[in-house]
Chains A and B, each alone.
Chain A
């Protein structure tokens, strides 16, 4: 899997709902595409699960199919009440896992 990028605000006030943006480099090969030279179908290889944790608690997750675009972008929200860490995990069908981390200061 390619490199992951996450955008989390550095600071927030307690009770704020923040927006988080994530992006990961991945072909998301749907299994429908054909190799132009051989005419054979290119086997499916996608990221099928994304999970976001805030201080160890899963607050958002997503199941993906071949219908998700290459280099998947995903944005979502989180209600924050104390400073802490975020952990984002992408699982692909071949068992590969990529993790990204970020922290936030909540006042």
Chain B
């Protein structure tokens, strides 16, 4: 739509046109994607409303992922992983994928370390978070941002 056209259109036609193009733009993204708010709500569900503390764990992902279909993730929590003090689970959450949870890992003291490595799909450039549940009932969180060149969620 250019300025010349706008001038000849009456106000009503212009508004309808604008509405249609906005709808077209929204329709470009064919997959309904989760929002950062949904991701935050998902984290609140995991922690039961408790606020996780930043740090005490590591979430490693590449800064730039050319292929969103397979992006490596390494996650670990700083724990001695003994019977008294261990990390129970770590959940990986994407903020702009079709579904916020990517995967969850469950550890025991027998794991030796709270460490896991996996490969995930990223729909677009976004923030990824990892939430760890500790044996004392506390929660930790780590964040990283991945730039994605080609999305890997189909659609």
**Contact partner of B107 among A17, A60, A68, A75, CB < 8 A?**
A60
> How far, in angstroms, from A67 to B121 measured CA to CA in the complex?
5
A78 in the interface (beta carbon within 8 A)? yes
Q: Decide: A67 and B110 in contact? CB cutoff 8 A.
A: no
A89 to chain B, nearest CB (A): 14
Given A30-B154, A69-B119, A62 contacting B106 (CB threshold 8 A): yes
Given A32-B155, A33-B155, A67-B121, A59 contacting B98 (CB threshold 8 A): no
> How far, in angstroms, from A14 to B122 measured CA to CA in the complex?
40
- Chain B contacts of A60 at CB under 8 A? 105-108, 111, 116
Give the interface SS of chain A, mostly helix, strand, loop or mixed: strand
Q: Decide: A67 and B101 in contact? CB cutoff 8 A.
A: yes
**Contact partner of A74 among B30, B101, B118, B121, CB < 8 A?**
B118
- Chain B contacts of A32 at CB under 8 A? 31, 98, 153-155
> How far, in angstroms, from A106 to B63 measured CA to CA in the complex?
39
Q: Decide: A68 and B102 in contact? CB cutoff 8 A.
A: yes
- Chain A contacts of B106 at CB under 8 A? 60-63
Interface residues of A in 42-72 (CB under 8 A from B): 54, 57-70, 72
B152 in the interface (beta carbon within 8 A)? yes
B116 to chain A, nearest CB (A): 5
- Chain B interface residue count, Cβ-Cβ cutoff 8 angstroms: 34
B115-142 interface mask toward A, CB cutoff 8 Å, 1 = contact, 0 = none? 1111111000000000000000000000
> How far, in angstroms, from A78 to B98 measured CA to CA in the complex?
33
- Chain A contacts of B105 at CB under 8 A? 60-62, 76
Binding site for A on B (CB under 8 A): 30-31, 69-71, 81, 94, 97-99, 101-113, 115-121, 152-155
**10 closest A-B pairs (Cβ-Cβ)?**
A33-B154, A79-B112, A17-B112, A59-B110, A67-B102, A75-B117, A69-B119, A69-B70, A63-B104, A77-B113
16 extra A-B contacts, CB within 8 A, seeds A62-B118, A77-B115, A78-B110: A17-B113, A30-B98, A32-B31, A60-B106, A62-B103, A62-B105, A66-B121, A67-B121, A68-B119, A69-B69, A72-B119, A73-B119, A75-B116, A76-B115, A77-B113, A78-B112
Write 12 A-B pairs (CB below 8 A) sorted by A numbering: A34-B30, A60-B105, A62-B104, A63-B104, A65-B102, A67-B102, A67-B121, A69-B70, A73-B118, A77-B113, A78-B112, A79-B112
